Structure 1
Amino acid sequence: MKKLLLCLLGSISPLYAGDSMPDGLVIIQKPIIFDEMRKALTLQYMQQHYGMVQDEPVIDPKMVVVHWTVIPTFEQTFAAFNPPELPAARDGIRAGGNLNVSSQFVIDRDGTVYQLMPETTMARHTIGINYTAIGIENIADGNSLPMTEAQLAANTKLITYLAGKYPIKYVLGHSEYHRFRDTDWWKETDANYFTEKNDPDIAFMQRLRSSLSALSLKPLP
């Protein structure tokens, strides 16, 4: 029997249905602005970086990329992702276009899961593979804010849920995305557009993939 789960956050009422929801997974809807400007910038990004000309900025998810924010709170992270255009403070990646960075999900330090965008709408979070990757940001920085046990559990439940909806083949940390550069998955058209990342730490990713051992994931290239 289908299950309906209703959660409230202010005036936002998310509704999820399906028997594939892992026990204890609650996804709170907190959408960022996705207006005509953001749509146009996303379509422009897809054409410029992946050679993909589409009417809608939709993706076919085959990967999940796990990140940490470095930003210390969910509220500040939401404020950073909400504007459609990249702020002036992000000049280091402005060469990649004016589309603001974002992700489909953010997990707070207590394990609360927020959905900022539809799973199949492209978000700018990982160079070269945004066209097929769902992004999960975690409120952490690896130093004063290490990844928490609650975040490990929440990532496990969320990715299990996503793998039940989509043919997810890989789960990787942002620090591991370079491993796809010499594969057919990499579609970045600008060979010079690349940044080194360290999130999350490899020990966390190893624990996360171990917790997902029941899924049919492929080893990273």
Structure 2
Amino acid sequence: MKYTLFCMSMLMLFACGTSQKIVDKPIIFDEERMQLTKEYLATRHGLIQDTPTIVPKMIVLHWTVIPTMQQTFDVFNPSQLPSRPDLATASSLNVSSQFLVDQDGTIYRLMPETTMARHVIGLNHTAIGVENVGGTADLPLTKAQIKANIWLAKYLSAKYPIEYLIGHYEYTNFEDHELWLETDDGYRTEKNDPGEDFMNAVKKGTQKLNLKAAPAKK
């Protein structure tokens, strides 16, 4: 029955006049990255698991502030974190996301949707990350990316029990929430991606999904 409902949902999604698709472009996920990811789940989230899998309940949107898809891919591809003093003390696992959206709206899947990616403090264990190429004054995010993020949110919500759609800048609103799992109370970074205008546009396009916004900041 569940599979039938999923198929019906996907048929409805693809019948809405969109030609959007996902291009698989996997980053390295070797034994080293597997082990580092399991260690991250244990040390940062307090979760001991045989596999680095997640049950997605949230979509977190980001911007890369990197000018091209390939340059972003090259940053995410290694298993170990390059020089990032603000993050290295927490883990040597490299940052990444499940999806990367180029300026023209092309969606790249960098890793399996239910494998943990390091992209948002406190919530990696339950969040699918979507990185968007750009985000600077010289290279702002595009309408094509807005449309792609809307499509992707619908696609993921048809497959998984997604409850929340948030921007990276909202992640600390989840402190004290049941989904928040971060063992170090002092480990935080300031974020403003992917911008409020971009988030509002994506949320407007996904209203019918009835996804929750981030909790109000306490």
- TM-score scaled to structure 2, two decimals? 0.91
Is the partner of 2:208 in helix, strand or coil? coil
Question: After the TM superposition, which segments of 4 or more aligned residues of structure 1 sit over 2 Å from their partners?
Answer: 18-23
Tell me which residue corresponds to 1:35. Answer: 30
Tell me which residue corresponds to 2:98. Answer: 104
Tell me which residue corresponds to 1:5. Answer: none
User: Comparing both structures, which one devotes a greater share of its residues to helix?
Assistant: 2
Distance 2:203 2:74 in 1: 30
Is the partner of 1:161 in helix, strand or coil? helix
Q: How many residues align?
A: 203
Aligned ranges 1:129-140 → 2 under 5 Å: 129-140=123-134
Supply the AA of the counterpart residue of 2:174. F
Question: Are 2:57 and 1:62 aligned?
Answer: yes
Question: Are 2:214 and 1:220 aligned?
Answer: yes
Aligned ranges 1:193-208 → 2 under 5 Å: 193-208=187-202
Tell me which residue corresponds to 1:26. Answer: 21
Structure 2 gaps, min length 5 = 1-9
Deviations 1:32-82 (A, max 9, x none): 000000000000000001110000000000000000001110000010000
Is the partner of 1:131 in helix, strand or coil? coil
CA RMSD, Structure 1 to Structure 2 (Å): 1.0
Aligned ranges 1:1-221 → 2 under 5 Å: 19=11, 21-22=13-14, 23-87=18-82, 89-221=83-215
Deviation for aligned residue 1:181: 1.1
Structure 1 gaps, min length 5 = 1-17
Distance 2:95 2:63 in 1: 13
Aligned CA distance change for structure 1 residues 204 and 99 (closer, same or farther; 3 Å): same
Is the partner of 1:38 in helix, strand or coil? helix
- TM-score scaled to structure 1, two decimals? 0.89
Distance 2:12 2:68 in 1: 30
Distance 1:128 1:46 in 2: 10
Deviation for aligned residue 1:182: 2.3
Distance 2:11 2:50 in 1: 32
